[in-house]
Each structure stands twice: as structure tokens, then as C-alpha cells.
């Protein structure tokens, strides 16, 4: 049973505020306010996205010194895990300047950029061997059209490993996935089983997918 004074409630409150944001700028404002408490709150709810995404990376992509993009880097949790697992050359992007400031303190990224998924990204074509995105493709966060730019900046033969959650998981992502497959932009490699990304506090069903760029 949850302690009624447990501050973890405020974490899911902010998540749901972000889910119902009207535009990317509003979402970024939620995360700016949240940035200093974000990691503690996520630990309180048993946040599983970073472990699931990096687990699928380790299953399919051997450690490499090639460039990796952390799309939606947040406070840099993925950067910490990936560098420890042997992927040292990571560039991160995020829509929240507050989250990026926290990520920068970890000194795990070779560069951090303030960019929005769903808009043009400031990278050349075929830049990255691997793109990861944890907890980003979900309601009120990044639009699924952001996948087009992530494919563009990934080398042919490179990989995208990302979580999909909430209303995107059934219907919208299936349609987007098939659109990109039919356009021969990527091919399916693997998917995790569905899991709860906040098991100690809420029910937020998610799944991690692995695609290879063609």
C-alpha cells in the first residue's frame, strides 16, 4: 500500500500533465519545472523505460564507438547506462532546457542540443549508427512523425530502439510502422513484451521496438 504522504504521487501528476499538453512547448515547460526532482520521482514509481530500452540495445547492437543519438535525453539517465555498457559517443537532444542542464552535469554526452522531435533536426543525413528514445513517443510528448527525422539521421544498416506508450501503442504506431515499412525506410527486428513503465504507482503500458534502417 502506498504511504499517503509519499511524494511519488507528484511524479505521476506531472506525467499526466505532460500527456495532456496542447503542444510541445507546453510539454517542455512541465519538464522544465520538474527537472530537479525528476529522477527521484521516477525512482519512486519504479520507472522501467531506460532499463527496457538499453536491454534491447544490448540484445542487438554490440558496444560501439560510433555516434549514438539519445532522442529525448531528459536528465541523462540513458547516457549514464549506455556509456557504462560500452557506447561512449552519445549526442543528446531534448525539448526541455531544464532537463538538458541536469543531463549536462553528468558529463556523459559529447554534445547536448535543444531540439524538438517532430521538427527538423540539426544533424546531417546518415550521422548515427544507433538512435535510442526512452519514454518519448507517447501522448503529449513527441509525435510519431518524429520517427521520419530519426530515420533520416541514422545510417543505412543502423538501428532505432525506442519505447511506445499509451494511446500510440494500439493504432497510431501500427499505422506509422506499416507506412515506413511500405516505404522501405526500415525493417522490423524485434519487440519486447508489453510492460508497465511505472509499476509502483500507475499503470502505463508500454513496449520497446527495434528497427533497422534500410
| Domains of the chain and any CATH numbers | 8-213 (3.40.50.150)
What's the pLDDT tens digit per position in 105-120? 999 999 999 999 999 9
d(CA 159, CA 32): 30
**Is the pLDDT assigned to residue 148 strictly greater than 60?**
yes
pLDDT at residue 187 in the model: 98
d(CA 212, CA 16): 32
The crossing angle, in degrees rounded to 10, of helices 8-19 and 24-34 is 170
Least confident of 105-109, 165-169, 191-195: 165-169
CA distances from residue 201 to 12, 29, 34, 45, 195 in whole angstroms, order as listed: 8, 23, 17, 5, 14
pLDDT at residue 3 in the model: 40
pLDDT band at 139 (very low <50, low <70, confident <90, very high): confident
Q: State whether residue 106 is helix, strand or coil.
A: coil
Give the angle 11-49-63 at the CA atoms, nearest 5°. Answer: 140
What's the pLDDT tens digit per position in 18-75? 555 555 665 656 655 554 565 566 666 667 899 999 999 999 999 999 999 999 999 9
pLDDT at residue 203 in the model: 83
Q: What residues have CB less than 8 Å from 5, skipping those under 6 apart?
A: none
Least confident of 12-16, 114-118, 196-200, 201-205: 12-16
Q: Which three cell numbers stand for residue 151?
A: 530515420
Amino acid at each position: 500500500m502506498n504511504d499517503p504522504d509519499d511524494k511519488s504521487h507528484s511524479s505521476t501528476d506531472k506525467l499526466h500533465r505532460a500527456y495532456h499538453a496542447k503542444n510541445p512547448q507546453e510539454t517542455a515547460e512541465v519538464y522544465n519545472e520538474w527537472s530537479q526532482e525528476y529522477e527521484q520521482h521516477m525512482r519512486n514509481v519504479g520507472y522501467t523505460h531506460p532499463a527496457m530500452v538499453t536491454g534491447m540495445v544490448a540484445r542487438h547492437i554490440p558496444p560501439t564507438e560510433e555516434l549514438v543519438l539519445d532522442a529525448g535525453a531528459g536528465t541523462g539517465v540513458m547516457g549514464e547506462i549506455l556509456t557504462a555498457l560500452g557506447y561512449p559517443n552519445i549526442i543528446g537532444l531534448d525539448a526541455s532546457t531544464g532537463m538538458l542542464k541536469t543531463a549536462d552535469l553528468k558529463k556523459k554526452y559529447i554534445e547536448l542540443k535543444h531540439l524538438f522531435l517532430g521538427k527538423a533536426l540539426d544533424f546531417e543525413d546518415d550521422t548515427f549508427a544507433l538512435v535510442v528514445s526512452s519514454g518519448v513517443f507517447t501522448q503529449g510528448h513527441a509525435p510519431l512523425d518524429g520517427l521520419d527525422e530519426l530515420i533520416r539521421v541514422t545510417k543505412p544498416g543502423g538501428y532505432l530502439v525506442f519505447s511506445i506508450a499509451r494511446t500510440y501503442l494500439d493504432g497510431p504506431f501500427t499505422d506509422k510502422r506499416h507506412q515506413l515499412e511500405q516505404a522501405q525506410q526500415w525493417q522490423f527486428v524485434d519487440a519486447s513484451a508489453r510492460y508497465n513503465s511505472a509499476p509502483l504507482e500507475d499503470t502505463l503500458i508500454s513496449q520497446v521496438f527495434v528497427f533497422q534502417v534500410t
